[in-house]
Structure 1
């Protein structure tokens, strides 16, 4: 098989390297280099101002992480403040990374993830199960006014965020690397749907977090809340979480018919939400 020399050079191929052939939906063939172990890390250095806000540092590191950089060096033009150092260390925990070197003005972060050994669908399942557990626990916290259980729900939201960043990086990498997509068993066209799914699961977890926080904030006023209002809120919450659970199952089964049932549930939820409006 003859291959264009510019293509061979751009992919750093040499004699004896393995190529992979992938059959597309239109039965055409795509040729791409076979997936290799990560032997060269993608490295980037980011300059951080001495007075740079921790939120800006968060956004920068997350952006580098999602764009596939495996080693990220943060370099301060002076020294990192205590707040900046603490923020960086907290962020490392959320991104499956580790600090491999650091001093007063520089820190190097390295990802612990090996894309070729990961499983997108298993990760999504685990992310969903944590979120579903949060849903069930927050309903129980509402029924029993259990503020400790509500706090437990809040703590689980960090685990969902970890999976979100992990999966988004993995999906983005698969979308631009056909060999990785093949290794992971995903169609590159499906990556957009999977990314949307991960975003929506994380959004559900965020909303559950807010419900749990509201339970904690309202506990001291619970005797002043009308029983009918709280009952309607509880019913709406339970129905919403059930619709979420059903939606994930429908997505996994790829059932077009059952999608209609999920849409119908949305209308019922809207009615429940409107029924809360007349309450003072």
Structure 2
């Protein structure tokens, strides 16, 4: 770390000299311009100013003819999160139909589009501008979609509505898409202080937002699994006993309320209700114990029992994830109070 003294410049201005090696590295001299970004923590970020349009980052991935669709998806996601805007995929032979389908599926989830497609080459390009994005807006949308999933999955469970359960499942892709976008913006902001300045992000925000979107996405995953279990139960035509169904509904409503309150607390930096959210897990555990072992009739086979147990565990997971968001809020507010 280097210390520099502030010097008076004229009657009303102050100046700080810039390190010579930094000027040489960035080819700066007398008369050149620099860009300054004020950080939320009072720091100042200094960058060279350039009129040149920044070239999009490019990467070329070689795809083996026997590579699995999931492996290809993971590599594309990794490249997207690392900030690459143009991803070229080249097969060592030709892409199989399954591989092409996987590439197109993941591109839709990553704000990317196919701009060139041949038998052995596919090019993907991002369709977003990170400098104009809003992390807060993305998180709001993630939360609203996830909360809608929670609301609908309860109604579907109450009414044994298979179509509504299927609608819930279809929304998970939207949550994933927003999560990947936020993670990409965060990673780019950490590497590019100028972008962080434009988005009014500091390092503490980046870490907290990253944790939050991953927790919200896991809540959405659990809701999707509840909907999938409900569909299987409805398809097999067996009714859940009222006592068990009501207990699961009570626990679900409590867990979902905790989720909604925890995200609201995070957004508004409100720690007042957080301990109540965390302690609510004990109330849900009491309901959990009342239905353990589960009061199921002999009409239920092992597969159906497994689905009901899965719903119960998903509800508990959502409660636990909500408590994690509440604890994240406490940590976040404490950082700003230091």
Tell me the TM-score range normalised by the shorter chain: over 0.9
Give the match's secondary structure for 2:272. Answer: helix
Q: Greater Rg, structure 1 or structure 2?
A: 2
Q: Which residue of 2 aligns with 1:235?
A: 250
> Matches of 1:185 and 1:101 in 2, distance apart?
35
The DSSP-based 3-state class of the residue aligned with 2:113 is strand
Counterpart in the other structure of 1:19: 35
Q: Does 1:265 align with 2:260?
A: no
**TM-score, normalization by structure 1:** 0.92
Say whether 1:188 aligns with 2:203: yes
The equivalent residue for 1:126 is: 141
Q: Is the 8 A contact 1:35 1:179 kept in 2?
A: no
Which residue of the other structure, out of 172, 180, 183, is the alignment partner of 2:187? 172
Q: 1:145 is matched with which residue?
A: 160
Match of 1:104 among 99, 116, 119: 119
Cα distance change on mapping 1:260 and 1:105 into 2, 3 Å: same
Partner of 2:57: 42
Counterpart residue number, 1:95: 110
Residue 45 of structure 2 is aligned to residue 30 of structure 1: yes
How many residues end up aligned between the 2 structures?
279
Give the secondary structure class of the aligned counterpart of 1:19: strand
Query: Does 2:81 align with 1:66?
Result: yes
Q: Select the residue among 136, 150, 164 that pairs with 2:151.
A: 136
Q: What is the alpha-carbon distance in structure 2 between the residues aligned to residue 270 and residue 58 of structure 1?
A: 38
Residue ranges of structure 1 left out of the alignment (5+ in a row)? none
- Please, what TM-score do these two structures have when normalized by structure 2? 0.77
CA distance in 1, matches of 2:78, 2:28: 29
Native 8 Å contact 2:107 2:114 kept in 1: yes
Match of 1:117 in 2: 132
Alignment deviations for residues 19-51 of structure 1 (CA, whole Å, 9 cap, x no partner) = 1142563x4543234698963010011111011
1:178 is displaced (CA, Å) by 1.7
For residues 209 and 96 of structure 2, what CA distance do their matches in structure 1 show? 38
Q: CA RMSD in A?
A: 2.1
